[in-house]
Each structure stands twice: as C-alpha cells, then as structure tokens.
Structure 1
C-alpha cells in the first residue's frame, strides 16, 4: 500500500547546551516578553530559540545551497 505521506523521520529531540553572551541572553528575554505581549502566551527563551533558529536557517539561501552541495558530495563518496 502507498500512502500519501512518507514515513515520518525521527523526531526525537536532541538536547543542545549553549552558552550565550549576556547581551544575547537579555535580547532573548526581551523577545520572550514581547512574544507574551503579542500573543498572550508566556514562553521561555529556550522554548522560542529552536523556532528562531529554524526560521533563520530556512531563510538563509547561501546555507541551503551549501548544505545541498555538502549532502550531494557526501552521497557521491558513500
């Protein structure tokens, strides 16, 4: 049987620990406060950061091209 969607990839979260500069930590706290004012829902910066990173990477055309080339190169070597 063929389904309309393919099997879902592994979606098990991977925990990363990051250290950020105090200015970035403050900016993330401010972003979380503005988010709460905008949407009426409080979220911690560490909850918002993954979505922010995903949006950043999705919008970076140079990264997308380089990543595609990287994976194409890796698959040829395999």
Structure 2
C-alpha cells in the first residue's frame, strides 16, 4: 500500500462528489435504503447512506488500520 498523506485537509465542510455507478448497483443501493428504513415513513436517500457506508468500511478495514499505525518513513 502506498503512503497516504492527507494531513493538509483541515476543514470539515461537506464536499460534493459526482460518482458514476452501474445501474444495478444503484438499484441495490435503493433497495438497501428501503430495507434500512424497516417500514419507517421516511426512506433515507442513497446520498445520505453512502457516506456512512464508506466511513464504516474504512473503520473496519484491518489492513488500513495497521498501515495507519506504522510510523511514517523518512
């Protein structure tokens, strides 16, 4: 894995991204949002669910966590 250097990103303002994905993945994501709501009146939009999914994925990636714990190389 290459060294990741993002220390310069200081502000926490939301960043708008445009992402292309296959139509099947989008349909699966919409179905996931429906299942996530479990009968609630409001179904979350994919735009609201995707950031949480990515955060959870990064937090659960063990090899990435090991890489982050290593001291930086000079």
With structure 1 as the length reference, what TM-score do the two structures score? 0.67
Higher relative helix content: 1
* Structure 2: segments with no counterpart, 5+ residues: 1-9
Where in structure 1 do 4 or more consecutive aligned residues deviate above 6 Å?
none
| Shift in Å, 1:71 | 7.8
| Shift in Å, 1:31 | 0.6
* Structure 1: segments with no counterpart, 5+ residues: 1-8
Q: Which of 1 and 2 has greater Rg? A: 1
Pairwise CA RMSD: 2.4
What CA deviation, in whole Å up to 9, does each residue of 1:18-53 have, x standing for no partner?
Answer: 101111101100011111226553210111000001
Q: For residue 50 of structure 2, what is the aligned residue in structure 1?
A: 49
Pair 1:71–1:23, CA change in 2 (3 A):
farther
1:64 matched to 2:58: no
| CA distance, structure 1, for counterparts of residue 71 and residue 42 of structure 2 | 38
Higher RCO (CA 8 Å, separation ≥ 6 residues): 2
1:22 matched to 2:23: yes
